[in-house]
Structure 1
């Protein structure tokens, strides 16, 4: 062993002995579950009460028949309604600000968790709607092109051609093995689709998703994710096909209302809704800097996402009402949209990002926790964490941020600085929470 290595070992040994003799008994709370579980903590189920009874009743029936979480069926219902309205409907939260009515929604889950069966229940409705509409139009005009609601093509030229040939928008349906994060063939990314009147519904398998830090942030930030817990088993005797009459009637009404792209309809917010939405935007502005990476990029699109969700909820409520025209967006609807984004979609997005993009702050902190559990040190230094736990993948400033996160999460506590055996600058040390299995001497 070199003299330098011996000196390092000697210094570390001195620090450990010193910590054991002078460190006070520390009060420890519970450790943040996000630091202990590299997968995710429990996420809330889809709040069905944001939807009117015909919709939520059908979602429950369809999910039971498919033995799938209601979340997946709800995602497909929202995507179906958004796809019908895409291109012809928008929402204006304020003068000069118009959000087009289109959404990108992802059903996240491992294989055989019910994603495809759940989505198929809604796809059948749209196929039936397309067939009905095309038969009706052909009886009136033999030369009219068929009305298409869905596109399943993964070719960018084919998608662009379909958009050019239609006066309406589409729902791009990407329920396939490669997942909805795979860019269309013939494009270098998702940006070309973002500029088209296209909503998107697709599936993602988190275990097969490896996100390169920074590479797909623009794409990932556009999706609203649903990654539900596994559904309870449903006995065969209780699996009955959902009754489609009410929701088909609602979808037909949406289809009749959806104008052409050349003559869009823009919904506005009433005054109470504007005040509630303004408060939401102010809260989001105050939270800037509290998140980073993918979560920050996703949260940055919260204003537009809430406006679009509010527009969609307004359309869904109108589709089963006696009102002649939808809108304006009311206070109760904007509050439901805010709650849907904040209390449902945000925790699901966080769960997905922390699984698929482990290079973020929490991912690094979890890596240190795993190292602490494996090596069981009593105290650690910044350099130990940087070199041994993080493999020299961070600089000193980044390591300090990781240590701060570990302190915040209850895994470490900073000790008072003590001067080494040869004097000089005091070394900074952190004591490890005994719950991580640290050897307490």
Structure 2
């Protein structure tokens, strides 16, 4: 992405992102994606995007920063998470004060409750009507410790936090591969469905052994942010079930930046104020008075731009395969989420501006360019770190021979005689030749010999014309 394109996509945050990346000595793509994911969690259930009737998307974004250990993933996370941790420290102090006050009120309520029970018991013994329970005998529910982020938690704990705070959470981890590969180790396979629901913002119920009452979450809304190394991602992609979990991640895999001493300072206060503004976004309420997301509609022009992007994604999807194909299928929804986050980040950067009541075409255009033109290429590079299937590796060996020797035909027996690693059995050679045939390098043919026909493969002469 060029400097001009970056400025357009990130708008009022472009310069802050460049400065943060410079100070931390990290690629700006790392900091930018960390900002988007964190902001999406802070917005949470307060604002969902609605491109048109029947389509509602929570804003939460799952972000994966791919790179070698020295690439600067952790410093990029720190640039965004440090202001979040400062806010959480203040929330913790506020909670302690509220908890202390509540405990005092609860002690008084316990005395009032004991007195009411004694009075009621005496009245019943005397044949009189028992007094009504006084309001002072109940201190109410204890205060809730507000949270923005978590680093690790069981599914039951995450559900409990979401039920208590309602808004949403950010799961932030330095290393995502370990979390992804181990999420089913102790849960009997229940974690992956849980996290798929957390991405979609759907309702969820967790039954507890320790309590007859289940945990009911109206909107499971959790953003995920973290890094991983290319080899760990490759191992994860090979071993994982193709259930769409990985396809939901926005991924950046940039080249490392040159080592240099920073020439500026990060303005933590600006980001902290923006996060506070996002946390202050009010929710909507249903007819029963319960909280629900405020659905932010798209303008007609924004919906038209999104529809054009959906058509483009359909073309990309037809050319993709494997997990990358699944990722392409998620791009329209991701563009909707990113457009919602960008719209509210723009708003958060401008003091005293009114809440966004629509998602404009410019927000959709910026989101589609980021997701479709930029991050799609990063995802392709990240998924390309996966070890290719054996037949593909063997097909590459044969392609090299064909390009070098330019034969008119090749046969299974001729390849076997070369004694190449991985191409010593007829089965492996036939699989490799079949791969080249699918890509129109070869055409399978047969020659009658009076007995069993001789099978050979004709090399496409257009290979030499194109060369």
| TM-score category, normalised to shorter length | 0.7 to 0.9
Q: Is the 8 A contact 1:175 1:203 kept in 2?
A: yes
Asked if 1:320 is matched to 2:349, the reply is: yes
Aligned to 2:363: 333
Aligned to 1:248: 272
Judge which range, 280-289 or 341-350, deviates more: 280-289
> Aligned to 2:296, what secondary structure does the other structure show?
strand
Quote the Cα distance in structure 2 between the aligned partners of 1:292 and 1:113.
28
Structure 1 residue corresponding to 2:32, chosen from 58, 64, 74: 74
Aligned to 1:132: 90
Quote the Cα distance in structure 1 between the aligned partners of 2:257 and 2:65.
14
Aligned to 1:49: 8
**Offset of residue 57 of structure 1:** 1.8
Judge which range, 263-272 or 276-285, deviates more: 276-285
Q: Please, which runs of 5 or more residues in structure 1 have no aligned partner?
A: 1-42, 435-441
1:59-98 alignment runs, 5 A limit: 59-98=17-56
Q: Is the 8 A contact 1:106 1:226 kept in 2?
A: yes
Structure 2 residue corresponding to 1:220, chosen from 237, 246, 265: 246
> Aligned to 2:283, what secondary structure does the other structure show?
coil
Aligned to 1:368: 395
Quote the Cα distance in structure 1 between the aligned partners of 2:429 and 2:450.
26
Aligned to 1:264: 293
**Offset of residue 151 of structure 1:** 0.7
Judge which range, 304-313 or 151-160, deviates more: 151-160
Structure 1 residues 232, 377: closer, same or farther in 2, change over 3 A? same
TM normalised by structure 1 equals: 0.75
1:4-23 alignment runs, 5 A limit: none
Quote the Cα distance in structure 2 between the aligned partners of 1:345 and 1:372.
30
Between structure 1 and structure 2, the one with the greater Rg is 2
Q: Is the 8 A contact 1:44 1:344 kept in 2?
A: no
Aligned to 1:27: none
Structure 1 residues 182, 333: closer, same or farther in 2, change over 3 A? same
Residues paired across the two proteins, number: 381
**Offset of residue 123 of structure 1:** 1.2
Quote the Cα distance in structure 1 between the aligned partners of 2:254 and 2:391.
25
**Offset of residue 397 of structure 1:** 8.4
1:35-184 alignment runs, 5 A limit: 47-53=6-12, 55-136=13-94, 142-143=101-102, 144-176=143-175, 178-184=177-183
> Aligned to 1:98, what secondary structure does the other structure show?
strand
Q: Please, which runs of 5 or more residues in structure 2 have no aligned partner?
A: 103-142, 199-220, 285-289
Deviations 1:130-154 (A, max 9, x none): 2234445666674422210001114
Structure 1 residues 395, 319: closer, same or farther in 2, change over 3 A? farther
**Offset of residue 67 of structure 1:** 1.0
Asked if 1:310 is matched to 2:339, the reply is: yes
Q: Is the 8 A contact 2:6 2:14 kept in 1?
A: no
TM normalised by structure 2 equals: 0.71
Bigger share in helix: 2
Q: Is the 8 A contact 2:444 2:455 kept in 1?
A: no
Quote the Cα distance in structure 2 between the aligned partners of 1:353 and 1:265.
35
Structure 1 residues 214, 273: closer, same or farther in 2, change over 3 A? same
Aligned to 2:215: none
Q: Is the 8 A contact 1:250 1:320 kept in 2?
A: yes
> Aligned to 1:181, what secondary structure does the other structure show?
helix
> Aligned to 1:325, what secondary structure does the other structure show?
coil
Judge which range, 180-189 or 269-278, deviates more: 180-189
Structure 1 residues 274, 429: closer, same or farther in 2, change over 3 A? same
